[in-house]
Structure 1
Amino acid sequence: MQNLPDFSHDEKTAMSDLMAEIFSEKPYPQIPEIEIQKKIGQGGMGSVYLGKQTYLDRAVAVKVIHLNSCSDMNSFVLRFQREAKLLASLSHSNIVSCYHAGSLPDGKCYLVMEFIEGMDLGKYVQKNGVLAEPQAIAVLKCMSMALEHAYSFDIIHRDIKPENVLLQHYDIRKSSTSLINQNFPYNVKLVDLGLAKITNVKCEQTVTQEGQIMGTPAYMPPEQFEDIETLDYRGDIYSLGCVLYYMLTGRHAFPQNGIHAIMLQKLENNLPGIKQHNPKVSDAVSQIIHSMLQRDREERPQSYQEIIEFCTNYEQKRKDESSISNKPTVVVSTSEIAPRKKRSSVAAFFFLPLIAGFLYLAFYTVNFTEPKEKVIAKTEQEKIPLPLENTLSQPNTKEPTTQKTPPTILPPQITDTEKLAPKDFSWGKKSSLFSDTKFEQRLESWQFEPNNTGWSASEEGSGVFGFGTSYIMRELEKSPWKIEATIIPLGMDSREWSIHFLLSNGNEIEINWKMLKGILTTVSEKSNSGQKKTLLSATSPQPQSISFTAIHYSNTLEITTNSQKNTLDKLSAPIEKIKLSAKKSKGIHFESLQIFYDNGK
């Protein structure tokens, strides 16, 4: 202990305990079907070991919790179990996979995870220096896609930092993804969801104790210092901005010493400038960092898709600039230019009169060897093509000539469905997707979620109400059809609701509305394997009611929400069912839900 004079008493004790554990002869934990090879790390929750899954003969990382280091063992075990469930539910190329989880006879819990051979982003920057801007944008894009996937399962991370971003050496033979940047041969892997929170689950006992700060202060959003229970995905967007700042400067965006100094600077919205530490950062990247680090989360990007689109546009712009700059140019020595120019002038003096004479004779021959009327008729005939049937059937009465006849170009064959557009349909009499009988039978054609208590018919009018977190679903006839809906949020407590269109191949198109300061509308496609892709995202002021229209024909779905129109023209399969869902809602009123079918169907 006396050989560690620069550390506090608690730090000396912790280091001594760690050294004692490392150099002790304690046997490695016995994990079923896992052969532990060595200890490779230690964190706040426990130790990480390199192991081998004997049956599959593959390397794995095993994380074992340290119960003896917890003041509240039950809370730590609960956190650990939650991490296992979260990881097991995710499958994404930029998220470390979870293979197995369980507990040992002594009560310790463990996770068996994908082993990533490589260093974390923090160590990479310390060893190699800051990333070039295109490399940093590529990493940001991967992290945003990973977090967007996690959030599609209502998961937020809450501890985004360089140490939780692993860099796996890229191997084209093993990787299912393309190289993110030619000068950065790594796969990006997000790890450690131990602090993640499932936002749609209410626990009677919260894992984080009151007054305890969870996360890493240098990367935490301001609201995480104040009330962790109100934290949402925009907190992770703030942390992403801090990581982007670090990648480009090698410094923390808020470098103050001590948690209170960091917290004060963030709460006062003292935003750091980046160009003073890296003048090479472009204005566009400086602006996206500035927006991600806003004190007010309403001023940050309101979806991961906004960040992904920024990264995609950035990469495309660089690609376009590179293709222009790489165009070949001819460089001629000045010693060769002068004599060539002189010889060319002399040659032109002798040959230009001869060339002009030949051109005159050629022009004279073309214009005067045939009668003027014939030349005009021929010209007009070339301008006006024959009808298609005449072109195909007219007998050839002319003498064969050596002149080549241009090939006949037939118009492309277009099927009836490809010709159709909404204006081509004659929408018949409308009918309600809710039964027009007494309110007790209004939902008789709908299938309820098991144990559903969240949907009921309105006793007045013809609508229905949705509460809590639940859904109802019914089948639709074949397209073409048009659906019109009027939706009324019952105040800010309406929170979130969706209309889902279920495709015949198991995929799903979801139109989701979320109450923020205004309303965030997102359209996404979810595959039958659970992968979710956001197609578009927009924020608008909160209206008193929402008018919604969906038109489905061929493989196209046109969606209009309060006059904002979007077209999805490459659906993977026809739509078979419609589903209405509410999420944590205190009340959403589908005042009407009408369907129209084409009279010519």
Structure 2
Amino acid sequence: MTIESSFILSSGAILDGQYRIEKVLGKGGMGVVYLARHTLLDDLVAIKLVLPHLANEQYIQRFLREGKVARLIQHTNIIAIHDLRITADGIIYMAMEYFDGHTLAKELERRGKFSPSAAIEILQPIANALQVAHSSGIIHRDIHPSNVMIKEDGKGKYQVKLLDLGLAKIRPTVDSEDAKSAQLTMVGQVLGTPYYMSPEQWQPKTYSEETSIDVRTDIYSLAIVIYELVSGRKPFSGQTIQNLAYQHVAVVPTTLYELDSSIPKKFSEAIAKAMSKEASDRQESIEALFTQLRTAISSYVSNAVMLDLENAATKKFSGLSLENMTSGESTSKYVSGALTGERKLVLKHLSGSKAGKEEKFSLNTFQELTFGREPSNTIAYDPYKDDIVARQQAKLVKDVFEPLQFVIVDN
């Protein structure tokens, strides 16, 4: 095995007789991550290696803890730990699932911000993983965009993985030797990533106080991630640790709705609740939070597209009131009859838009949804009569660039 003076492995080096190093994936102050291949199985793995001459005892304990906690939970959206070993040379390393993606932090930097529905679609698998972890008595305690990996699958969908269980807390509900050995309570210290830490994480804890940290700590941190994705900014912007600590504990941030009134108000309220200073004021589970968020989005869409049947051109029209914005004029009585030529349409709810502007809004997970007339109807529309049915129909087509976004086109 070829090891440089800094304990950086060269390409082609064999680690522990099992893994051939291919390249460096990343470096930190006390460790290195490599892409490697198992010499017998030919599997690609990520090797996370501690630099023993640089790592302090706290870092080593956190590293070992990550491997031990990973044994307690397996989930498709959590990076799997295959092995945790110490070589004869005293090198500590972890063989992990290799995920060829990038962090959610980089994706946010690239996109600027996400729509509420896009943010929820991307983070729903992470929420599912956390729900399983919580039911197993595991609290992550370090949720932030750089601990979420993401990649596109080529079909307009995203694969996401949760990283770093090094600060995870095992609650007493997990009664096993693995859980006991994985416990790591650093009395008198605060643990987490400052911009995303819950108020209760900011206070140095005695052992008994530390046991009070529960799932609501993860709810708080995940809510901050959602806030940042949707608004494009962090709720707290302190430039020092002391200032951030004060803001998390005492300052109520501007709500998402106050920042952008196009964000569903109920969505904003659910995030504000999840970011409550008192843990007892937050949702009781990740599942409860995401149920509220999905309901807020669904209700907002339903309110946007409900048809006032008393003012519709026909009661047979299937639930959506449209306007043809090519003239820049709107009408509350008739459904537009000129839906040809792939013209962009908008809902009456969005009638303030300029003519020809493409509008998007959120639905659930349909690839497309056609609406307008009953299939058997072929009667042409007459704008001067209000007792017949429009022949035309329109279609919502999934936008491949925005998960859960649809463009209204004609059909």
Q: What SS does structure 2 have at the residue aligned with 1:67?
A: coil
The whole-number CA distance in structure 2 between the counterparts of 1:331 and 1:59 is 62
Cα distance per residue 1:470-513 (max 9 Å; x no partner): xxxxxxxxxxxxxxxxxxxxxxxxxxxxxxxxxxxxxxxxxxxx
Name the residue aligned to 1:298: 280
Name the residue aligned to 2:47: 62
Greater RCO structure (CA 8 Å; 6+ sep): 2
Cα distance per residue 1:196-235 (max 9 Å; x no partner): 1112279699745444332111000011011451322111
Structure 1 stretch displaced more, 85-94 or 203-212: 203-212
Shift, 1:261, TM fit:
0.5
2:119–2:230 CA contact under 8 A, matched in 1: yes
1:158–1:236 CA contact under 8 A, matched in 2: yes
Cα distance per residue 1:368-398 (max 9 Å; x no partner): xxxxxxxxxxxxxxxxxxxxxxxxxxxxxxx
Name the residue aligned to 1:281: 263
The whole-number CA distance in structure 2 between the counterparts of 1:71 and 1:34 is 25
- For the pair 1:102 / 2:85, whether they are aligned, the reply is yes
Give the alignment's TM-score, normalised by structure 1. Answer: 0.46
Change (3 A) 1:78 1:139: same
Mapping 1:37-76, distance limit 5 Å: 37-43=22-28, 46-72=31-57, 75-76=58-59
The whole-number CA distance in structure 2 between the counterparts of 1:275 and 1:331 is 44
The whole-number CA distance in structure 2 between the counterparts of 1:205 and 1:194 is 10
Shift, 1:107, TM fit:
1.8
Name the residue aligned to 1:264: 246
The whole-number CA distance in structure 1 between the counterparts of 2:24 and 2:241 is 31
Letter in 2 for 1:68: H
Change (3 A) 1:324 1:129: farther
Aligned residue pair count:
306
Letter in 2 for 1:328: G
- For the pair 1:215 / 2:187, whether they are aligned, the reply is no
Change (3 A) 1:244 1:25: same
Among 206, 228, 232, the alignment partner of 1:250 is 232
Among 107, 111, 134, the alignment partner of 1:151 is 134
1:241–1:289 CA contact under 8 A, matched in 2: yes
Cα distance per residue 1:122-158 (max 9 Å; x no partner): 0001012211111111233222211111112211111
The whole-number CA distance in structure 1 between the counterparts of 2:133 and 2:384 is 64
Name the residue aligned to 2:367: none
Change (3 A) 1:275 1:66: farther
2:141–2:168 CA contact under 8 A, matched in 1: yes
Among 226, 236, 239, the alignment partner of 2:221 is 239
Among 367, 371, 386, the alignment partner of 1:327 is 371
Q: What SS does structure 2 have at the residue aligned with 1:89?
A: coil
Mapping 1:481-496, distance limit 5 Å: none
Q: What SS does structure 1 have at the residue aligned with 2:159?
A: strand
Change (3 A) 1:91 1:23: closer
Letter in 1 for 2:127: S
Structure 1 stretch displaced more, 304-313 or 222-231: 304-313
The whole-number CA distance in structure 1 between the counterparts of 2:96 and 2:46 is 5
Letter in 2 for 1:327: F
Among 7, 12, 15, the alignment partner of 1:30 is 15
Structure 1 stretch displaced more, 39-48 or 239-248: 39-48
Shift, 1:71, TM fit:
3.4
Name the residue aligned to 1:186: 158
1:100–1:112 CA contact under 8 A, matched in 2: yes
The whole-number CA distance in structure 2 between the counterparts of 1:81 and 1:125 is 30
Change (3 A) 1:197 1:306: same
Give RMSD over aligned pairs: 3.3
Mapping 1:196-211, distance limit 5 Å: 196-200=168-172, 207-211=184-188
Among 33, 37, 62, the alignment partner of 1:79 is 62
2:32–2:49 CA contact under 8 A, matched in 1: yes
Shift, 1:315, TM fit:
6.2
Shift, 1:66, TM fit:
2.4
Cα distance per residue 1:271-319 (max 9 Å; x no partner): 3322344443211110111001100000000112212322453565578
Change (3 A) 1:252 1:316: closer
Shift, 1:22, TM fit:
10
Letter in 2 for 1:120: T
% identical equivalent positions:
30
The whole-number CA distance in structure 2 between the counterparts of 1:23 and 1:138 is 39
Q: What SS does structure 1 have at the residue aligned with 2:45?
A: strand
2:190–2:204 CA contact under 8 A, matched in 1: no
Letter in 1 for 2:271: I
- For the pair 1:129 / 2:101, whether they are aligned, the reply is no
Q: What SS does structure 2 have at the residue aligned with 1:275?
A: helix
Q: What SS does structure 1 have at the residue aligned with 2:216?
A: helix
1:254–1:272 CA contact under 8 A, matched in 2: no
The whole-number CA distance in structure 2 between the counterparts of 1:209 and 1:337 is 77
Can you give the 5+ residue segments of structure 1 that lack an aligned partner in the other structure? 1-19, 173-182, 342-601
Change (3 A) 1:266 1:51: same
Letter in 2 for 1:191: L
The whole-number CA distance in structure 1 between the counterparts of 2:119 and 2:133 is 21
Name the residue aligned to 1:226: 203
1:141–1:307 CA contact under 8 A, matched in 2: no
Larger Rg: 1
